[in-house]
Structure 1
């Protein structure tokens, strides 16, 4: 019984993991089917794979849309970290007046649905001449991710004993030296996990992308929606585009999984 239970738990874990991954697996498989095979009911399991869909979506300009998504996601993630990490540090480690109110204000900005602010944002960007530009998406995605950075990083900073900072000050470290040389190295896993989440949220964002861009700054989700036409849904081509869109996040998650797990177990869900 002692040997059977761990084996059953392992099997159940793999089965659950496969269940969660099955939609992604089906997406990958559909991308290698023809349009006819992609809409067959019941679905065909045995088929002759084809790269025609990948060739067609690549010839349609997929590389440009991938470039837009990469630039916007990476730039907005870096900016969100630059703005959010010091703010989280101040709220967690320094005696800031009404810190809880400030923290609530940050998270309250996530409560308003995007559709409720799209009209004023559209008008402002139109007046500034920033419609259909990467700069507009970078600014919006940065603002979208800063509250996430502040909330997550504050929890990571809270896990650091304040005595560590005091010890650094006793040794002669200034406030900035203590922040960069003592505190940041201790929360590096938290920064990596937070950065990955910000990147994924920016990479997957669709509403602002489809509302504020057309060709010059359209991202991968917008490109994917172009295969939803009046003639119908091109499932095989949409699956190919989705495969290209999913790969960067999967690759990043794979290479940073150790730091990601370590970061998420440092207390990122604490208040």
Structure 2
């Protein structure tokens, strides 16, 4: 065997090992979700066995319970509240983050590093530390149990992260294109909509997806600031843990249904997400 063949064989072996490790890690992180899906199709008696029964009979009773077969409580209002708060806040985050990132990257403002540090410093305060002031402000403003209060909170919570992400994405936009657009007389709105947005589409998709996931999964503020009217899907999910005990099959069915919007959004935007998260990684 020649030296070149030896190097090729070693490289092939190395790629095989890394490929095996990647598959192992992927299956390791996917296993809990797969187990949750399988448990959601089991009866409560089979789901509570230790060790759990893999080959138990399958049933849709857990999903019937989630949709209120025995209690008559519909999950649709909380799901709609979560969808409204998540989608609306994500759109507002993009509308505010893209111009801010444009000013911090392509047309840098004075002391832009101080501005970025200020955005980052807003995430240093633990969320629970601001819970009481937010509750008192919402109570005095008469906005408790209001989905639009969640929209405002989710927008303010996700905006710093979105600005940081969008700045790194917009920094990769070729300056020559923007200069050519300026010479042609394009204004700022035209530049943002027709030039910056198409070029940075993967980054925008990644930022939007992460903001949507953070908003959809938020529980602390939604649990304290909402009640019957504006309760979200995670708050509704906590209602399945009762004083009677933890019914695993029903909880797993509810968790699968609540997770579906995030999974669908991630699957639909997976190509843009990968492009966006890897944008600028290779020069």
> Which residue of 2 is the match for residue 61 of structure 1?
74
- Structure 1 residues without counterparts, runs of 5 or longer: none
Equivalent in the alignment of 1:46 = 55
2:41 equivalent to 1:28: no
Query: How does the TM-score come out when normalised to structure 1?
Result: 0.94
Q: How does 1:246-265 map to 2 (within 5 A)?
A: 246-265=259-278
Match of 1:76 among 77, 83, 89: 89
In 2: Cα distance, 1:95 partner to 1:143 partner:
22
User: 1:251 and 1:152 mapped to 2: Cα distance?
Assistant: 22
* 1:122 matched to 2:122: no
Q: Is structure 2 residue 219 aligned with structure 1 residue 219?
A: no
Match of 1:117, SS state, is: helix
- SS of 2:173 mapped into structure 1: coil
What's the CA shift string for 1:169-207, capped at 9, x where partnerless?
Answer: 122222332222222211011101110000001001110
What is the alpha-carbon distance in structure 2 between the residues aligned to residue 91 and residue 12 of structure 1? 39
Secondary structure of residue in 1 paired with 2:67? helix
Q: Which residue of 2 aligns with 1:10?
A: 19
Q: CA RMSD in A?
A: 1.5
Partner of 2:118: 105
Instruction: Report Cα offsets for 1:131-162 as digits up to 9, x if no partner.
Output: 11101111100111111110000001111232
- The residue that corresponds to 2:6 in the other structure is none
Aligned pair count reads 268
Equivalence for 2:205 = 192
* Aligned twin of 2:109: 96
What SS does structure 2 have at the residue aligned with 1:130?
A: coil
- Is 1:244 equivalent to 2:262 in the alignment? no
Distance 1:7 1:105 in 2: 45
TM-score between the two structures when normalised by the length of structure 2: 0.90
User: Structure 1 residue 164: deviation in Å?
Assistant: 2.2
The residue number in structure 1 matching 2:5 is none
Partner of 1:228: 241
Alpha-carbon distance in structure 2 between the residues aligned to 1:47 and 1:254? 30
Q: 1:15 to 1:119 in 2, by over 3 A?
A: same
Larger-gyration structure (1/2): 2
